[in-house]
A and B are shown apart, each in its own frame.
Chain A
Amino acid sequence: MALPRHILVALVEDKPGVLNRVSGLFRRRGFNIASLAVGHSETPKLSRMTLVVEGGEGVRVQAARQLRKLVGVMEVKDITGSETVARELALIKLRALAKDRNDIINVIGIFRADIIDVDVDTMIIQATGDADKIEALHSMLLPFGVLEMMRTGEVAMVRGAAGRRGDGVVKPIVYEDIGGV
Chain B
Amino acid sequence: MKLNGSQIVLECLKAEGVDVMFGLPGGAILPFYQTLPEYPEIRHILVRHEQGAAMAADGYARSTGRVGVCVATSGPGATNLVTGIMTAQMDSAPVVAITGQVPRAMIGKDAFQESDVTGITLPITKHNYLVMDTNDLPTVIKKAFHLARTGRPGPVLVDIPKDVQTEEVEFLGYPEVAEMPTYNPTPDVNTADVKRAAQMINAAKRPIIISGRGVNISGAHAQLLELAEKAQIPVITTLLGLGSIPGNHILNVGMPGMHGVAWASMAIDEADLLIGIGMRFDDRVTGNVNLFAPKAKKIHIDIDESEVAKNVIVDLALVSDVKNVLDELNPLVERKVHADWVGQIEEWRRTHPSLSIRDTDQLLPQYILSELNKESNGESIIVTGVGQHQMWAAQHFVSDKPGRFITSGGAGTMGYEVPAAMGAQVGNPGKVVWSICGDGGFQMTMSEVLTMVQNKIPVKLAVMNNGFHGMVRQWQELFYNRSYVATEFHTPDFVKLADAFGCMGIRVTEKDQVVPAIREANAHDGPVIVDFVVPVEENVYPFIPPGGSVASMVEDPNFSAAMG
Taking Cβ atoms with an 8 Å cutoff, the residues of A that contact B are 12-13, 17, 20-21, 24-25, 28, 58, 61-62, 65-66, 68-69, 71-74, 175-176, 178-179, 181
Q: Is the CB of A69 within 8 A of B123?
A: no
Chain A residues, Cβ within 8 Å of B315? 179
Size of the B side of the interface (Cβ < 8 Å), in residues, is 25
Complex interface bits, B305-338 against A, C-beta within 8 A gives 1, otherwise 0: 1101110011111010000000000000000000
Q: Is the CB of B305 within 8 A of A69?
A: yes
Name the residue of chain A whose CB is nearest to the CB of B180: A71
Give, as a whole number of angstroms, the nearest-CB distance from B377 to chain A. Answer: 41
Q: Is B500 an interface residue (CB 8 A)?
A: no
Q: Is B404 an interface residue (CB 8 A)?
A: no
Q: Is the CB of B122 within 8 A of A24?
A: yes
Partner of A69, one of B118, B304, B314: B304
Name the residue of chain B whose CB is nearest to the CB of A12: B182
Chain B residues, Cβ within 8 Å of A24? 122-123
Known: A12-B182, A24-B122, A71-B127. 9 other contacts (CB 8 A): A17-B130, A21-B122, A61-B309, A62-B306, A69-B304, A69-B305, A71-B126, A71-B147, A71-B183
Closest 5 CB pairs of A and B: A65-B306, A181-B309, A71-B127, A74-B182, A178-B309
Partner of B314, one of A28, A58, A66, A178: A178
A/B pair count, beta carbons within 8 Å: 53
Which B residues from 113 to 149 make CB contacts under 8 A with A? 118-119, 122-123, 126-127, 130, 147
Name the residue of chain A whose CB is nearest to the CB of B305: A65
Q: Is the CB of A178 within 8 A of B306?
A: no
- Complex Cα distance A23/B553, Å? 40
Q: Is the CB of A179 within 8 A of B313?
A: yes
Q: Is the CB of B314 within 8 A of A72?
A: no
Chain B residues, Cβ within 8 Å of A17? 118, 122, 130
Give, as a whole number of angstroms, the nearest-CB distance from B191 to chain A. Answer: 13
25 contacts between A and B (CB under 8 A): A13-B182, A17-B130, A20-B119, A20-B122, A24-B123, A58-B309, A61-B309, A62-B306, A62-B309, A65-B306, A65-B308, A69-B304, A71-B127, A71-B182, A71-B183, A72-B182, A73-B182, A74-B181, A74-B182, A175-B308, A175-B317, A176-B193, A178-B308, A178-B314, A178-B316
- A175 touching B118 in the complex, CB below 8 Å, given contacts A13-B182, A65-B306, A69-B306: no
- A178 touching B182 in the complex, CB below 8 Å, given contacts A24-B123, A65-B305, A71-B147: no
- Complex Cα distance A25/B125, Å? 12
- Complex Cα distance A12/B378, Å? 47
Give, as a whole number of angstroms, the nearest-CB distance from B182 to chain A. Answer: 4
Chain B residues, Cβ within 8 Å of A178? 308-309, 313-314, 316-317
Indicate the member of B130, B306, B313, B319 with the most A CB atoms within 10 Å: B306
Chain A residues, Cβ within 8 Å of B304? 69
- Complex Cα distance A178/B308, Å? 8
- Complex Cα distance A128/B147, Å? 42
Name the residue of chain B whose CB is nearest to the CB of A21: B122
Chain B residues, Cβ within 8 Å of A25? 123
Complex interface bits, B341-356 against A, C-beta within 8 A gives 1, otherwise 0: 0000000000000000
- Complex Cα distance A61/B314, Å? 13
- Complex Cα distance A66/B315, Å? 20
Name the residue of chain A whose CB is nearest to the CB of B118: A17
Partner of B319, one of A61, A72, A175: A175
Chain B residues, Cβ within 8 Å of A12? 182
- Complex Cα distance A47/B180, Å? 16
- Complex Cα distance A69/B187, Å? 12
Q: Is the CB of A66 within 8 A of B306?
A: yes
Q: Is the CB of B306 within 8 A of A179?
A: no
Complex interface bits, B518-544 against A, C-beta within 8 A gives 1, otherwise 0: 000000000000000000000000000
Give, as a whole number of angstroms, the nearest-CB distance from A143 to chain B. Answer: 44
- Complex Cα distance A69/B152, Å? 10
Give, as a whole number of angstroms, the nearest-CB distance from B14 to chain A. Answer: 25
- Complex Cα distance A175/B306, Å? 11
Chain B residues, Cβ within 8 Å of A72? 182
Give, as a whole number of angstroms, the nearest-CB distance from A126 to chain B. Answer: 35
Name the residue of chain A whose CB is nearest to the CB of B181: A74
Chain A residues, Cβ within 8 Å of B310? 62
Chain A residues, Cβ within 8 Å of B319? 175
Chain B residues, Cβ within 8 Å of A181? 309, 313
Chain A residues, Cβ within 8 Å of B309? 58, 61-62, 178, 181
Q: Is the CB of A28 within 8 A of B193?
A: no
- Complex Cα distance A15/B453, Å? 45
Chain A residues, Cβ within 8 Å of B316? 178-179
Chain B residues, Cβ within 8 Å of A71? 126-127, 147, 180, 182-183
Name the residue of chain A whose CB is nearest to the CB of B308: A178
Give, as a whole number of angstroms, the nearest-CB distance from A115 to chain B. Answer: 41
Chain B residues, Cβ within 8 Å of A175? 305, 308, 317, 319
Chain B residues, Cβ within 8 Å of A21? 122
Q: Is the CB of B305 within 8 A of A68?
A: yes
Complex interface bits, B290-306 against A, C-beta within 8 A gives 1, otherwise 0: 00000000000000111
